[in-house]
A and B are shown apart, each in its own frame.
Chain A
Amino acid sequence: MGRNPSDLVVFVGKRLVQLVAVLFGVVTITFFFTHIAIPNPCNVWSGPRATEATIQLCIHNNDLDKPPLTQYFSYLSKLVTGDWGTSPLGVPVLPTILSRFPQTLELVLTALLFMILLGIPLGVVAANNSGRWQDHIVRTFYLSGWATPTYLGGVILSIAIGPALGLPRTGAFSSFPTFPEPFHMSVLDALVNLNFAAAADAVLHLILPASALAFINLGIATRMTRTSMLEVLPMDYVKTAKIKGLSDFLVLYKHALRNSLISTTTILGITAGGLLSTTVVIEEIFVWPGIGAYAFDAITKYNFNGTIGVVIFFAIGVVVANLVADVLYGLLDPRVEWR
């Protein structure tokens, strides 16, 4: 009975080993998808006015004349040594992704924060007033988010709501930052440079894309919280909390919500992974300098190395998000054992 802290270390370790297997699978699938779907990207890479000789040179330089398996193994051996290749224009992939991924992470974490701070209390309110008007309003709100296609929600926020509120619609800063960016996260970078004007500017720029991302996925957090709250509220321990003389607020948020969060956390972990892929559309709309916009760019320009690189990061994001959810799950529910 009981758990040791070492259980957690073993659990996280095991999951990280599994991550390696996941990454291997993801790389393999993406590699063959890209290389078999588009066997000769050199026509595009070399540009519309390329001569036959330049195209042949491109094919030779990129090993495209070799069998796919050979290409695969040579790519894989370079990948594990840290050489993730370059884009067709010769820009190295790994540094680009490393500088853009934190920016996406900032966006996703902000959206997640919105979902937690707004979505979960909405779920509590809906459950506590189930069947009454509050419940219906909350349901309308989150279903409208859920039913909105990503691009539509983003565009509406960008062209209608953003201008109406006077919020900036594109980019992470109003002007190109002149200070060093050690973290590649706009708000954090501005803060460490003690440039509070830039930080405020960055926060304003974050609001629209993060709300778009959050609004579309809010329904999951709200609905899950509502459902599990409805299961928890009739439990005897909620009555126990009430009969102690605790206020309604403490009964709801300390005793009932704590137990409902267990399932909400799992869903949020899965959603957080999904948010990464939603950024592909959102970042394109809001011109956010993150990995999502880069993914869009890489795919449309047949940038195989870039595409695989992005997919690797997305896969890491999904696995880590689920891992964090599983760890939190165990922290929230003392009956769960990490295995």
Chain B
Amino acid sequence: MADPLLRIEDLTVDYEVGAGTFHALQDVSFEMTPGRVAGIVGETGCGKSTLAHAIPRLLREPPARIRRGKIWFRGIDLLALPKWKLPLARGTAVSMIFQEPINSLNPAYRVYDQLVEAVRIRKMRETGRSPVLFTDAQPHDYSRTPAPKASEVLKRPFAPSLPRGKMRRPAGFSRDELRSDVLEYLRLVRINDPETILNLYPHELSGGMRQRIMIAMALSEKPSLLIADEPTSALDITIQAQVLTLMKELMEEVRTSILFISHDLGVIAEMADDVGVMYAGHLVEFGPVDEVYSSPRHPYTKALLRSVPKQYKDQGPLPSLPGSVPNLSNLPTGCTFHPRCPLAQNLCAREPGPPLEPAKGARSSDHRAACYFSEEVASLA
């Protein structure tokens, strides 16, 4: 197996607010292989978004607090980066699309001005005019190039490299050069009339259009990892389908690694190669998507899958999971899922849930579950 693109170890994040401490993420660990799409699925408030924001260090601290853990990205622990180096980890390394396209573009600037910033940053880094986090070439297309080796942080000096012999700032990129790049990415996201769109302000565009522009912006930096945090949840159902189709097509075209966050099991099945299931701040199961869906190894995953309605079939009331999601500021002792778990034993209430480990009886060793009784899950109705 190739070097992991992203390896998260024991990531634990709390929110400290007036009402108490909310344990948003607890000991979350998983790996992402280059070129694959990993989905993270879970209910509202299970910590999906916190996980997505923690990777490019976008959490607002305070109130968020990263208690422990490591986020290894191409061999660098993003959590160990000093604050001033954080911008270098963003954009060309990790990029992100947000949930609400309505708010994710700056209302004060034209579409062109916002897109060109991203293009300029990428070009500056590509040409070595601004410092970069990874000195080795950034293969955008993992299907054709081998995974990059882990490299040390910032081999390059901080000052932008100057053209030898002359003490002057390197010339900028020509307007046409930048503009054609911006237009290229707008066409990539299937915008028919990019020239007009460029001169508009975000408030003059529809939600679906804005999300396309966000996708174009993220891709224009050729990120090694693209995080999509519920990119379609805030859109109309028809627009949702359009944007998902677009993303699906783009995945084939650019083959970047994607971490796809969603609460929709169907969307994840459609988009992702691997899937992680989260419950109350814990990653309870992780594995190849078809395997997790066909033979779940955690009772929560099992219950979640059972509650998905089958199309066109009247099968009586949908099965639902008894009980409710625990309050993140007051988690149950032991395994957080045990009060709702049909397999719970004394052990589950006493001992904290086990770490994510290769599920017993699973077909592949990549299929991991955090349950003492993962073998018995198959026997559940």
Which of the residues B114, B204, B218 comes within 8 Å of A1, measured between beta carbons? B204
CB proximity of A318 to chain B, nearest CB, Å = 28
Chain A residues with CB under 8 A of B87:
242, 245-248
- What count of chain A residues pass the 8 Å CB interface test? 24
Q: Is the beta-carbon distance between B217 and A334 smaller than 8 angstroms?
A: no
Which of the residues A1, A243, A259 comes within 8 Å of B107, measured between beta carbons? A259
CB within 8 Å of A: which B69-123 residues: 83-84, 87-88, 90-92, 94-96, 98-100, 103-109, 114, 117-118, 121
- Given the known interface contacts A244-B121, A245-B90, the answer about A333 and B107 at a Cβ–Cβ threshold of 8 Å is yes
CB within 8 Å of B: which A245-298 residues: 245-248, 255, 258-259
Q: Is the beta-carbon distance between A237 and B117 smaller than 8 angstroms?
A: no
- Given the known interface contacts A2-B204, A244-B118, A334-B203, the answer about A236 and B107 at a Cβ–Cβ threshold of 8 Å is no
Chain A residues with CB under 8 A of B95:
243-244
Cα–Cα distance between A303 and B91 once the two chains are bound (Å): 67
Whether A240 is near chain B, meaning CB under 8 Å from some CB there, is: yes
Whether B58 is near chain A, meaning CB under 8 Å from some CB there, is: yes
Cα–Cα distance between A2 and B217 once the two chains are bound (Å): 24
CB proximity of A10 to chain B, nearest CB, Å = 21
Q: Is the beta-carbon distance between B104 and A244 smaller than 8 angstroms?
A: no
Q: Is the beta-carbon distance between A241 and B106 smaller than 8 angstroms?
A: yes
Whether A234 is near chain B, meaning CB under 8 Å from some CB there, is: yes
- What count of chain B residues pass the 8 Å CB interface test? 37
Cα–Cα distance between A272 and B109 once the two chains are bound (Å): 27
Whether A332 is near chain B, meaning CB under 8 Å from some CB there, is: yes
Chain A residues with CB under 8 A of B203:
334-335
Whether B201 is near chain A, meaning CB under 8 Å from some CB there, is: yes
- Name the CB-closest residue of B to A332: B108
Residue interface bits A218-239, CB-to-B below 8 A is 1, else 0: 0000000000000000111101
Which of the residues A234, A245, A246, A255 comes within 8 Å of B60, measured between beta carbons? A234
Chain A residues with CB under 8 A of B88:
245
Cα–Cα distance between A286 and B244 once the two chains are bound (Å): 68
Chain A residues with CB under 8 A of B56:
242-243
Q: Is the beta-carbon distance between A236 and B90 smaller than 8 angstroms?
A: no
Which of the residues B108, B114, B204 comes within 8 Å of A259, measured between beta carbons? B108
Q: Is the beta-carbon distance between B204 and A240 smaller than 8 angstroms?
A: no
Whether B230 is near chain A, meaning CB under 8 Å from some CB there, is: no
- Given the known interface contacts A244-B90, A244-B121, A334-B108, the answer about A239 and B98 at a Cβ–Cβ threshold of 8 Å is yes
Cα–Cα distance between A166 and B143 once the two chains are bound (Å): 71
Q: Is the beta-carbon distance between A246 and B108 smaller than 8 angstroms?
A: no
CB proximity of A327 to chain B, nearest CB, Å = 16
- Name the CB-closest residue of B to A247: B87
- Given the known interface contacts A245-B87, A248-B87, the answer about A240 and B104 at a Cβ–Cβ threshold of 8 Å is yes
Q: Is the beta-carbon distance between B204 and A237 smaller than 8 angstroms?
A: no
CB proximity of A255 to chain B, nearest CB, Å = 5
Cα–Cα distance between A335 and B91 once the two chains are bound (Å): 28
Which of the residues A1, A236, A237, A246 comes within 8 Å of B121, measured between beta carbons? A246
Whether B214 is near chain A, meaning CB under 8 Å from some CB there, is: yes
Q: Is the beta-carbon distance between B106 and A243 smaller than 8 angstroms?
A: no
CB proximity of B230 to chain A, nearest CB, Å = 12
Q: Is the beta-carbon distance between A236 and B104 smaller than 8 angstroms?
A: yes
Whether B274 is near chain A, meaning CB under 8 Å from some CB there, is: no
Residue interface bits B180-223, CB-to-A below 8 A is 1, else 0: 00000000000000000000010110000000001001100100
Chain B residues proximal to chain A, CB less than 8 Å: 53, 56, 58, 60, 62, 83-84, 87-88, 90-92, 94-96, 98-100, 103-109, 114, 117-118, 121, 125, 201, 203-204, 214, 217-218, 221
Having A1-B204, A131-B62, one finds 6 other A-B pairs with CB under 8 Å, namely A235-B103, A241-B117, A243-B58, A244-B90, A246-B117, A334-B107
**Sample of 20 A–B contacts (CB below 8 Å):** A236-B99, A237-B104, A239-B96, A240-B98, A240-B104, A241-B106, A241-B117, A242-B90, A243-B91, A243-B96, A244-B90, A244-B91, A244-B117, A245-B121, A245-B125, A246-B87, A248-B87, A333-B107, A335-B107, A335-B203
